[in-house]
Structure 1
Amino acid sequence: MISCVNRTSFVMVHVGRSTEAQRNLRHGIETRSWGFPRWKPEFHSARPRFAVLGTGVAPRVPFDEWATKRITLYFFEVVAAFHNAESRHWPNEEAENAIKYPVRFGIEPLAELHDIPLDATGPLSLAGSDALRLSGIEQGIGKLVELDPQPLFDAASISIRWADGGVVPLGSTPGILADQVAAPKAPRRRRRGAGFISDPKKRRAIELRAEDMAVEHYQREGWTVERLGKPYDLHCTRNGEVRCVEVKGTTGAATSVELTVNEVEHARKPHNTVDLYVLSDIKVDVRSEPYVASGGRVTHLKGWEPADEDLRPRSFEYRLPPT
């Protein structure tokens, strides 16, 4: 029997197999965001710790039939609570020029699991499995349920003992890349991790919006601000004090950001005082020329020093053997 002490709140989400649904799934993984077409009363006070997105099985069947199937799961930590959308975000929202998913929350990918049984032998338990099915019946709107996450950690080969403290070091998880999601008939582009935008004009508009907001913030506080770009974005001085500011912008949620090795090493040097300024949920109007970015939610970390447990390697340098 599972102890109630080990349980925590999950939001279970069924994702359809249509081209549009799978394209949105890839985009959600890429930008660390998910959303629903309408609010439910329980969402206003809910703070789920984890999210599970499941795809590959039709939900409109009795539970007894559903439980005989096997499914692909995407396991996430929820790092930004449910909130109202401020801009278009998903590909079909951009195409239709409308916000279709006004309920948003931020997700950090932990692991992808394939061929997972939906019966009592699987890591979801019967309650979690049925919540996933019911989500599919309700147009993919999330279902809240209390589960023990340990079976999911075990299934994903993540070396965490949830009962020992309830902490998930990012470096202990494999993560999920958007390219891991296969969608029929959908164009495939190379993804590079959290918040990467392939359109250079859109990416530049996002960067400028975040940087402009950061400059405005520090100037309001009496700092003299110089834009550098490298080795960090903003050099701020005030009464002999110096702050180095890394600025990141994204159209997605404030969950994680990409860092270079140099950015991490610079922030960790004892003589540097570094702030991290992140502007998320940025709105970009791609119909104008140049693109116009607006809005955004601020996450501001002062005296920032990235810890090992909050970092996950995304690439390696390989030394070739001598010839």
Structure 2
Amino acid sequence: MPVNKLLLIAALALIAACSSKTVIDENLTENELYAQAQEDLGSSRYSTAIEKLKALESRYPFGRYAEQAQLELIYAYFKSVEPEAARAAADRFIRLHPQHPSVDYAYYIKGLSSFEQDRGLISRFIPLDMTKRDPGAARDSFNEFAQLTSRSPNSRYAPDAKARMIYLRNLLAAYEVHAGDYYLKRKAYVAAANRGRYIVENFQGTPAVGDGLAIMTEAYHHLGMQDLKQTSLDALKLNYPEHPSLDGGEFKVTYKQKEERSWLYRNTVGLFDNAAPLPPGQTRASQDVIQQYEDAEEAIPGELKEGLQGEEEKERSWFSYLTFGLFD
């Protein structure tokens, strides 16, 4: 069977599964409804389990399984890859039962939902660099795990949460390094220096601190701030003597400027400093167009250019000029 037909069948099956709604017998007792929900969870039928757990909570809000159903609902949403729903269910449980013995579980699944949110279906099969993606979910996950470890330091979930926090902190620091490199490449040296300083001040203990010092050193080098450059370089040499930006103790500039900029250009991002005054009636845009035309003209092969020059030497009538030579 062709692959496109298989994909079509799979898509239709998925749509049918999503559109179908579980019909729950209204005569089921609380025990029966909870038992069926547990059976669905055990068989990985999470969508069906969600419907039954919601029905259990709505039909028996003060029953013996009401609070447990809320906890199971958080887990069912998480396993069905609905991170926003899982986090909402966890928030609701924490708000309703802040002193519940299992409230640490709600915090843990909430943090785990944010942790897995960035690691979607595609990233599980395609090797994506997570440090270059939007860190919003990673930052949320770190904060949620931090709440768990601070509120319940002896929780059974605390060790795993702490391990994930170390990973997330390194990931967030690496993202800041990518941002600093981007600013260096764009010659936004003040922003690059600020980003490097932010890494050094807020991510101590991560491998990215050396990169932050290197970003600061290079940014201050381009800005001509020799004292700040030397301070950053000394810290880099002292703490990270094997950093890739150092070659025999000397700093290697990664992004070299094409031309020397004046102090006015560096401090005003080029707004008030031009290489040469513009001729009357010209703008930078018009100069760029002229330069593009000249570059294109130089790229014309010699033999073709000679033919064009021969054509230009011919006398042209006013009609030829008006019609751009279409009817010559």
Query: TM bucket by the smaller chain?
Result: under 0.3
Q: Larger Cα Rg: Structure 1 or Structure 2?
A: 2
More helix by share: 2
TM-score (norm 1): 0.20
TM-score if structure 2 supplies the norm length? 0.20
